[in-house]
Each structure stands twice: as C-alpha cells, then as structure tokens.
C-alpha cells in the first residue's frame, strides 16, 4: 500500500493537530485495534518531540517528512529530518528509575525513548548525508 506522506514544520505548537489528524486517519481506516492506535499516538508524539528538541535544538525547528504505511501486520512510520545527527549515531535506550526511589529524586524526563522502545520495539536509525532517517513499527 502506498504511504501517506505528511510534511510538517517542527514546532511544539503545531504537533498536536498534526498528530491528532494522523491518529484519526488510523482509527478511520478501521484496520487496527484501539490499543494499536493508542500506541501509534504515543510513538508519533514522542518521535516528533525528539526531532524538534534534539535534532533541531528546540528553537525555531525545521522540516520533518513523515511517511505512514498502514500495513496488514502493523503501522510503519518513517521520519526524515535535516537536523543534527543522533549522539554516537545511535538511538538512546534509557531505563526506568528504581520504583523505590525518593520523590525528590524522581526523573522529570527521559520517558520519551523508554515509551518508544516499549511500544515500537527495535526502532531503526540511519544517517545519510545531512539527513536523519528513523523507522518505527507499531503493532
């Protein structure tokens, strides 16, 4: 099946509408469980945030091309952006804090990649020229 391709300008104020539009399209296709749609929602939000905050440095942002492949065995997501490469050319894989941790030591960040790894196992990253390519599969 041909992918749906979305072009967006990275910016935290516009992601909500873009993501809700994509999630509505996934739901309208009638091909996926509520759980799969929810997982795709979380993954899309975290992926776009990461590109905005890290690849584009969280300021003016830049261009993101997002391709969505609605396949029988899952939802395939590919993003292209033209910002900074991932540190070490690798996807971060943070772990959760010890649940017995004191309140004052609780982390306020680092949840994003944890959620992505959990909901879209084995994300892929490629750097080609000045382009970051990320691929995720949500089942």
The site for another protein (CB under 8 A) is made up of 12-13, 15-16, 20, 34, 38, 41-42, 45-46, 49, 52-53, 96, 99, 103-104, 106-112, 114-115, 118-119
Among residues 2 and 13, whose Cβ is nearest to another protein? 13
Spatial distance between the Cα atoms of 27 and 68, rounded to a whole number of angstroms: 13
Tell me whether residue 46 or residue 81 sits nearer to another protein (CB atom).
46
The Cα-based distances of 3 to 51, 52, 78, 88, 108 in angstroms read: 21, 23, 10, 30, 35
Please state the closest distance from residue 100 (CB atom) to another protein, in A: 9
Nearer Cβ to another protein (35/131): 35
DSSP 8-state class, residue 10: -
Local structure of 22: helix, strand or coil: helix
Q: In whole angstroms, how close is the CB of 115 to another protein at the nearest point?
A: 6
């Amino acid at each position: 099946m041909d992918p749906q391709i979305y072009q967006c300008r990275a910016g935290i104020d516009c992601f909500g509408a873009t993501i809700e539009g994509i999630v509505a399209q996934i739901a309208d296709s009638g091909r996926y469980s509520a759980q799969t749609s929810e997982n795709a929602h979380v993954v899309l939000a975290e992926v776009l945030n990461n590109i905005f905050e890290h690849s584009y440095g969280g300021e003016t942002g830049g261009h993101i091309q997002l391709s969505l492949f609605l396949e029988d065995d899952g939802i395939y997501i590919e993003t292209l952006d033209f910002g900074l490469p991932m540190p070490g050319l690798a996807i971060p894989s943070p772990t959760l804090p010890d649940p017995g941790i004191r309140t004052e030591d609780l982390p306020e960040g680092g949840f994003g990649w944890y959620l992505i790894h959990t909901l879209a196992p084995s994300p892929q990253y490629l750097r080609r020229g000045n382009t970051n390519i990320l691929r995720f599969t949500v089942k």
